[in-house]
Chains A and B, each alone.
Chain A
């Protein structure tokens, strides 16, 4: 079963960019992942699917400020032109036929 590692927190200034990292466990470096955003007090929202190639496909009405990229076992979510509403928890997810697996989440603070 794959495991996902995320840092616990990250912060950046309004209007700047932030890059979040999700690392796949050994033996699972080619797995596709997804990114989800959870604003305070709300349900999660699907952001995108991200392939090992770096190709990504975003969900409905996800702003262009959100993009994905990959390097080896690392999967990245970059938020450009950071807005106040981007302050949230961000979770990565992967899966196999028997389970869905979530990372522990990264809390993004907008300064």
Chain B
């Protein structure tokens, strides 16, 4: 069975940094594109970034471009998101997600980790 388990969320001050991790199991991690999707309190789902299966390329939403960096370690079956220069509007639950094909829909979701940016 597919499992995606996020960690690393928490409270951070504006301008601060945080690194999220997503541990994957139950499938061949190195064969799949992976994504981060966020959801601000009471709002809808918003794609943040995705990365190719081999880590050779990635894409970002305009709202995080230049501040967030997605990466992966296929030997550790782990996806990362380095978040710098955090703003109040980055406050959200961040979900790790598997992309079914290249490219395709998201077909598995993690349980999410909450990031709160506040002074």
Residues of A within 8 A of B (CB): 32-34, 36, 38, 43-46, 49, 59, 89, 91, 93-105
Given A43-B95, A102-B47, A105-B44, are A49 and B59 neighbors across the interface (CB < 8 Å)? Answer: no
Size of B's binding interface in residues, CB under 8 A: 22
Contact B37 A100 (CB under 8 A): yes
Q: Residue-by-residue, is B19-62 near A (CB-CB < 8 Å gives 1, otherwise 0)?
A: 00000000000000001010000001111001000000001010
Residues of B within 8 A of A (CB): 35, 37, 44-47, 50, 59, 61, 95, 99-100, 103-112
Q: How many angstroms between the C-alpha atoms of A94 and B104 in the bound complex?
A: 8
Q: Which residues of A contact B104 (CB under 8 A)?
A: 49, 95
Contact A46 B106 (CB under 8 A): yes
Given contacts A95-B99, A99-B47, 8 further A-B contacts (CB under 8 A): A32-B105, A43-B110, A43-B111, A44-B95, A45-B109, A49-B104, A99-B61, A104-B44
